[in-house]
Amino acid sequence: TTPDYKPTLADYKPTSPDCKSTLADKYFNPAPEGWCGPFVGKYLWKGPDTFSAGHRFPTFEEAVKKAEELGDDCKGITLTSSGFSIRKGELRNGKLVITPISDIHNSLACWHKAQ
């Protein structure tokens, strides 16, 4: 193409998003059985009441293990630049809220237990 090329409507090729992104699978851990995710660029609110909110796990596997040990007190995991944190999550109308990142959060991805 030339530098002054401008696409036209005829150049548009619609695509449907995949249920599970292969890009996400390449860079983020796949969800273990009984879990959903990864949800890239999203996070879960609040740490569990029964666990230190500031604690980070160096590996996804360690975070999943602790999340499973905590049972219903932990709904999922959020990955930030400082590691994996287990999350209590926030329920609205009986559904877990998965929040898009904002300037005040540095979340890379999140996973949650299947509901």
The H-or-E segment that residue 24 falls in is helix 22-27
| pTM score of the predicted model | 0.70
CB atoms near residue 52 (< 10 Å): 10
Confidence (pLDDT) at 45: 79
pLDDT per residue as tens, the chain (115 positions): 445 655 555 555 545 444 444 455 567 888 999 998 888 888 887 777 777 667 889 999 999 999 999 998 888 998 988 889 998 887 777 777 777 766 556 778 889 998 7
Confidence (pLDDT) at 19: 43
Greatest Cα-to-Cα distance within the chain, rounded to the nearest angstrom? 60
**Strand segments (E) across 1-97:** 35-40, 42-43, 76-80, 83-87, 91-92, 95-96
Confidence (pLDDT) at 96: 75
The H-or-E segment that residue 26 falls in is helix 22-27
